[in-house]
Amino acid sequence: MRQERVEEYLGAVYRLRSDADTPLPLAQLAEYFGFSPVSVHEMVQKLEEGGWVQYHPYRGVTLTEAGTDAALALLRRHRLWERFLSDVLSLPWDEAHTVAGDLEHAAPEAVTERLSAFLGEPEACPHGGPIAPQATSALEQCLRSLGVGAEARVTRIAPEAPDLLRRIAQLSLMPGSLVKIVAQTAEATGVALLAEGGRQAVVPAADARAVWMEIV
Amino acid sequence: MRQERVEEYLGAVYRLRSDADTPLPLAQLAEYFGFSPVSVHEMVQKLEEGGWVQYHPYRGVTLTEAGTDAALALLRRHRLWERFLSDVLSLPWDEAHTVAGDLEHAAPEAVTERLSAFLGEPEACPHGGPIAPQATSALEQCLRSLGVGAEARVTRIAPEAPDLLRRIAQLSLMPGSLVKIVAQTAEATGVALLAEGGRQAVVPAADARAVWMEIV
DNA sequence: ACAGTTTATAAGGTATACCTTATAATCCAC
DNA sequence: GTGGATTATAAGGTATACCTTATAAACTGT
Ligand SMILES: [Mn+2]
Ligand SMILES: [Mn+2]
Ligand SMILES: [Mn+2]
Ligand SMILES: [Mn+2]
């Protein structure tokens, strides 16, 4: 197995899983990568042989300790590069995410640590993802799930799909933004309406599911 | 052909060739990579189909214009990352070279330009390699070729082999160092002796061939 | 409890980029 | 101009990581 492939799989498992013990169905991994389920199954078997994941037939994969460590290290590198690209080189945040997706595989531990120090030991990526690997705050709720009248602060955008990031940026909904839900459209197909610092914006339901908030 | 492989070959051709029109023998490429000549031959044929090189049977390869452009762009990225790793993250210069060998493939044009701006548009890598692609100064001579009594300034270390770089660093022979040749040992197996700012050092003949200087 | 869906496994295929062994063509130095 | 070294080419092989098609097994809801 090539190192980069291993990392991509472990990173994906970490990002997509709901919690550490609930196995992630291979179908979800396949869909995430756009690979056939058969290919993902093959790769997962190799990952299990390598001691990175545990495979639970008919249920999915969980990360072993080694797998979790590797995934966390990857995510940390990813987010540090994102900060560098975004803060130091002023790259748009969707491009920062994309480029970091390559750089993340090419920085040994020593470089990562020095990069973190240079950046001032940041705590989150430009999209709100934690850099010091810690549990996601249990207080986070997605924008979609908030009711009319709620006031909340954006903590994070996840998942970090480039086109989604571009739309979110246009609405100025970056982490830190304070927001009040002023209206809500009908059910599944609906959108959420909200006002922020005077301005108003309409967030499509699908996008609202990727915006995570903390009620204030 | 995968982009990274193409880049590695073009970069190697550029670094190893003596001048633009003299073809580089495949044997030298094979030796550089540690690949079999047959494999290199196969790859060179694909590179020719791709329009990156021209192959002159029994003589070697030359870069096409597209190939030269790609090689120069790669070298530029390589050297900018070296400067970043060395200046900003304080990595030892041999490690900077090694890590840059990976990062160089993962930075799109836009990132490269911003990186260069952030670094203050540097003109050379930590080992003296030019960043703005220009002809190497014709005044450069290698340390090995200088006679006793000559006074010169180090301009560059090439090739950038990590262990060579470590030895050179220990002798404090980085680009900029001023040096006077005070003695020279016998022929091929010999070493060159020199004094620098009071200190004295003995440079093995093989290493002296990689230290390029400008007579002052 | 069984039908229908989901998941697993078997079998064979592709492309990339490396390998070895063997033979053929060419070059070069004497 | 020929013989020994270099270089080219042919043929077949490996590993990785993806693919499709087809069949089998297990799960799940009614
Ligand atoms: Mn990646
Ligand atoms: Mn991010
Ligand atoms: Mn490289
Ligand atoms: Mn360099």
Structural domain spans, chain A = 3-63, 68-118, 141-215
Could you tell me the pLDDT band of residue B80, with boundaries at 50, 70 and 90?
Answer: very high
Contacts of B87 in chain A (CB under 8 A): none
Nearest Cα neighbor of A131 from A187, A177, A86, A195 is A86
Instruction: Give all strands (DSSP E) within chain A, no chain letters.
Output: 53-56, 60-63, 141-142, 151-157, 178-184, 191-196, 199-204, 211-215
- Identify the residue among B5, B103, B116 best suited for mutation to test binding to A, counting A beta carbons within 10 A and taking the highest: B103
Cβ-contact A215, A139 below 8 angstroms: yes
CA of A136 to the centre of ligand 4 (A): 41
CA of B100 to the centre of ligand 3 (A): 7
Would you state the pLDDT for residue A134?
65
- Kindly report the pTM of this predicted structure: 0.91
Give the C-alpha separation, B64 to A77, whole Å: 37
Taking residues B152-176, what's their average pLDDT?
Answer: 91
User: Which fold is adopted by the domain A68-118?
Assistant: Diphtheria Toxin Repressor; domain 2 (1.10.60)
Q: What is the pLDDT along chain A (216 residues), one digit of tens a residue?
A: 999 999 999 999 999 999 999 999 999 999 999 999 999 999 999 999 999 999 999 999 999 999 999 999 999 999 999 999 999 999 999 999 999 999 999 999 999 999 999 999 999 999 999 998 665 667 888 888 888 888 899 999 999 999 999 999 988 889 998 888 888 876 655 567 676 777 888 888 888 889 999 998
Would you state the pLDDT for residue A180?
87
Residue whose token pair is 């530029």:
B76
Give the C-alpha separation, B112 to B125, whole Å: 14
Instruction: Give all strands (DSSP E) within B37-177, no chain letters.
Output: 53-56, 60-63, 141-142, 151-157
Would you state the pLDDT for residue B132?
83
Lowest mean pLDDT among A63-72, B37-46, B123-132, B170-179: B170-179
Would you state the pLDDT for residue A133?
67
A199-204 and A191-196 strand pairing: antiparallel
Give the C-alpha separation, A205 to B106, whole Å: 34
User: Which fold is adopted by the domain B141-215?
Assistant: SH3 type barrels. (2.30.30)
Cβ-contact B164, B146 below 8 angstroms: no
Residues 6 or more apart whose CB falls under 8 angstroms from that of B130 comprise B79, B123, B124, B136
CATH of B3-63, one of 3.40.47.10, 1.10.10.10, 1.10.760.10, 3.10.20.600: 1.10.10.10
CA of B78 to the centre of ligand 1 (A): 20
**CA distance, residue B90 to nearest chain A CA (Å):** 8
Least CB–CB distance from A111: residue in B99, B114, B115: B99
A43 touches strand D (CB under 7 A): yes
| In the predicted structure, residue B8 carries a pLDDT above the cut 60 | yes
More confident residue, A208 or B70: B70
CA-based nearest residue in chain A for residue B90: A114
Give the C-alpha separation, A178 to A213, whole Å: 9
Would you state the pLDDT for residue B137?
66
Give the C-alpha separation, A142 to A147, whole Å: 11
| In the predicted structure, residue B133 carries a pLDDT above the cut 70 | no
**Interface touch A99/B88, C-beta < 8 Å:** no
B178 touches strand C (CB under 7 A): no
Domains B3-63 and B141-215 share a fold: no
Give the C-alpha separation, B151 to B167, whole Å: 21
A92 touches strand C (CB under 7 A): no
